[in-house]
Structure 1
Amino acid sequence: MQSDRPIFVIGCPRSGTTMLQLMLHSHPRIAVPPETRFLVPGYYRRFVFGDLREQGNRRRLGRWIVSDKDTKFKELKLDGEELIENIAAGPPTLGSAMGITFRSYAEQHSKSRWGDKRPSYFHHVDLLLRLFPDAQFVHLIRDGRDCVASLKEMPWYTKDVFHAVTNWAEAIDYGRRHAKNLPADSYYEMRYEDLTAYPETELGKLCDFLGEDYDPAMSEPQHVARVAIPEHKVWHQNTHGDVTTARSGSWKSRLEPWEVSVCETVLAERLTANGYELSGAPKAAKEHVEACENAASKRRWARRRKEFRDRINRFREPSPVAAQLTTRQLGELAKV
């Protein structure tokens, strides 16, 4: 039986996750849309919609997905009214409503399986598993120095280099946690450098993990970039060309010497553990290391406060959360 498990692409921003999204979207059975912003916000807003066992509340949830300007629903190019009615008629859970939205996107592209890509999802794997207990996660790892170099050039990235360094460190640390805690058939890691150098081989291994047959179209993702990448995202222009290794190691010309020192001082163990060779840069200035530590501390405490509030909120959820859509999910439901 072919798998219908959801697929989530995660990783530090600017690690190549958009390229991997396009590779997956090029598969004849898999559809991965442009980035949306309703999964995590919808989860935290779930109390606003009330008990989803009531059809009117499901319709209200669907209306929010379709109409709220922050959800990026328009990127999916779906019929909003039709989706709202499908959600209202669907299973009475938050995950089901979200899943129906992605499933509708897949059906629009004549695909039978869906995925989603958002780099920051590496922070939210536990949350996503509440929504989709049978999900599979693909974590794409890229040289942290290249990620930092790319992040600081992005028009939407308003933080400094110290936050960028911390961001990559967090992605690696969360990846280690997921690798330790998740079943082998739920979590998979791959390196950007290997993927761009040997796309057929690496994508073949990825398809084995996903339970899919490799399709050669996956190695030529530029053919779907025009469809799956919104025009206003000009920072993804490289995805419109052939898969290339040209950007690997470009940090050598894009980072200042002091920035290389910060990366290699703070990230040394993580870099070498993932197969990246250090350049031998001098140790970073003490104030630069402290700036990274302060950025990491602030981010860590903000997450802990949010996680604590969510643990309390789980005791008063008005209705079930987990999706009831896939073969495995329905099988588990039948056992209850």
Structure 2
Amino acid sequence: MAPPPNRTIIVLGCPRSGTTLLQLMLHSHPRIAIPPETRFVLDAYWSRREFGDLRDSGNRRALAEHIVRRRRSRFGDLGLDPERTIAEIVDGPPTLGSALGTVFRGYAHRFDKPRWGDKRPGYYQHINELVRLFPDVQIVHLIRDGRDCVGSLKNMDWYRHDSVTAMATWAEALDYGRAAQRRLGPDSYYQLYYERLIDSPEEELSALCAFLGEEFDPAMCEPNRVADVAVPERKTWHTNTHREVNRSSSGSWEKRLEPWEISLCETVLGSRLRHNGYELSGAPRAAARDLARYARVATTRRLAHRKRELRDRWWRLNEPTPNLAAVEARSDERRSTGPEES
């Protein structure tokens, strides 16, 4: 059975796996709007106790101000009117998911599109939280060769960690994605591969559209046409999105990674790489000191994730607002499809 229309779309994956390219491809669809990467969804989720019971309109206003006014939220990248957005949140349903959905819906209306979503690579760590906010969500997980992700991350000026942490990040993205796939099922979770996407965009995007319940549109294969609108100018590391789809960066790990990094990648990530169709180079086994370093990093990250899960479970026993989830998407859309202000 085809999924119902207008479900929330979330794009995620390891950082530098091509999620911005996929965002633009989806944004090129005549019915779908995926905005530039924001910072307010998880921030609002983890700050929700500050706003109290959202059945109180004053608390909804405080939440709306938090989303719209904070510079770090990147609300300004969406091109929306702050006052109007605040008013719509205050007048909307009393749940956090609905407040967040109001912002994304406003972005979709900018382009006269009925369907909206969000993209952020690190969402792979927060799939449970996203499902609580948007119960109808469809997760789209983009996978890229882990060695390319590591090689790309270590060359980003904004990346504050080392290549060992990047390896642990890629492993997490695969592991958490696999767990979500089992839990959510084929109607709500879909994975595709960066290398296949750039090699055969029409075929891969057609399959993705079938999952989303949408008709494929050829414009999706020309994401560079919307890059000026959907990628903030300050993100200079996304210059390739302004060009036609190409394989220029695929396989670049051979030049970007040092021999010890290749060995460590293929030792600790080897089974995951092979399982996802990536061939190993035959590099020698990593040195014991590098393996111990990876184990420390991976363990620390797993423990931090577990601690966050336990904290959230405790919080949910005493939620200020009984229901976090977006009110039924269909009813929200009916409420908000009135005439647009000029």
User: TM-score scaled by structure 1?
Assistant: 0.96
One-letter identity of the residue aligned with 1:176: R
Q: Does 1:228 align with 2:233?
A: no
Name the structure 2 match of 1:119. Answer: 121
Q: Distance in 2 between matches of 1:309 and 1:177?
A: 20
Taking structure 1 as reference, are residues 328 and 128 closer, same or farther at Cα in structure 2, changes over 3 Å only? farther
Summarize the alignment of residues 94-109 of structure 1 with structure 2, pairs less than 5 Å apart: 94-109=96-111
- Equivalent residue for 1:161? 163
- CA shift, 1:245, in A, is 1.7
* 2:25 aligned counterpart, secondary structure: helix
Identity of aligned residues (%): 57
Counterpart in the other structure of 1:217: 219
Equivalent residue number for residue 324 of structure 1 = 327
Q: Tell me by how many angstroms 1:310 deviates.
A: 0.7
Quote the Cα distance in structure 2 between the aligned partners of 1:189 and 1:329: 28
For 2:288 and 2:233, how far apart are their aligned partners in 1?
42
Contact 1:55 1:88 in 2 (8 A): yes
Determine whether 1:248 maps to 2:229.
Answer: no
Equivalent residue letter for 2:48: R
Aligned amino acid, residue 128 of structure 1 = L
Matched, 1:58 2:64: no
Deviation of the 1:104 alpha carbon: 0.3
Aligned to 2:310: 308
Q: Retained in 2: the 8 A contact 1:11–1:119?
A: yes
CA distance in 1, matches of 2:71, 2:223: 29
Matches within 5 A, 1:1-336: 3-319=5-321, 320-327=323-330
**Secondary structure of the corresponding residue to residue 225 of structure 1:** helix
| 8 Å Cα contact 1:134/1:329 also seen in 2 | no
Moved more, 321-330 or 236-245: 321-330
| Alpha-carbon distance, 1:171 to partner | 0.5
Contact 1:32 1:117 in 2 (8 A): yes
For 1:129, the aligned partner's letter is: V
Deviation at 1:329, TM superposition (A): 8.5
**What secondary structure does 1:157 align onto?**
coil
- Which runs of no fewer than 5 residues in structure 2 stay unpaired? 334-342
Offset from partner CA, 1:55-99 (integer Å, 9 cap, x none)? 111111111111112211111111000000000000110000000
Q: Say whether the 8 Å CA contact 1:145–1:260 is kept in structure 2.
A: yes
Amino acid at match of 1:115: G
Cα-Cα RMSD:
1.4
Where structure 1 has 5 or more consecutive residues not aligned to the other structure, the ranges are: 331-336
Cα distance 1:173–1:272, how it changes in 2: closer, same or farther (>3 A)?
same
Deviation digits for residues 17-43 of structure 1, max 9, x if unmatched? Answer: 000000000000000000101111101
CA offset at residue 327 of structure 1? 2.4
Rounded Cα–Cα distance in structure 2 between residues aligned with 1:265 and 1:318: 46
For residues 23 and 263 of structure 1, the distance between their equivalents in structure 2, rounded to whole angstroms, comes to 30
**SS of equivalent to 1:103:** helix
CA drift of 1:252 comes to 1.1
Q: Which residue does 1:333 correspond to in 2? A: none
Return the offset for 1:183.
Answer: 2.2
* SS of alignment partner, residue 159 of structure 1: coil
* Residues 1:55 and 1:328: Cα distance change in structure 2 (over 3 Å): closer
Show CA shifts across 1:283-303 (max 9, x none). Answer: 111111111111111111111
SS in 2 for 1:84: helix
* Matching residue's letter, 2:222: E
Q: Is 198-207 or 312-321 further displaced after alignment? A: 312-321
SS in 2 for 1:70: helix
Instruction: Determine if contact 1:2/1:212 at 8 Å carries over to the other structure.
Output: no
Q: 1:185 to 1:91 in 2, by over 3 A?
A: same
1:122-174: CA deviation from partner (whole Å, max 9, x where unpaired): 01010000000000000000000000000000011011111011000001111
Any idea what SS the aligned residue of 1:291 has? helix
Q: How many residue pairs get matched?
A: 331
Q: What TM-score do the two structures reach when normalised by structure 2?
A: 0.95
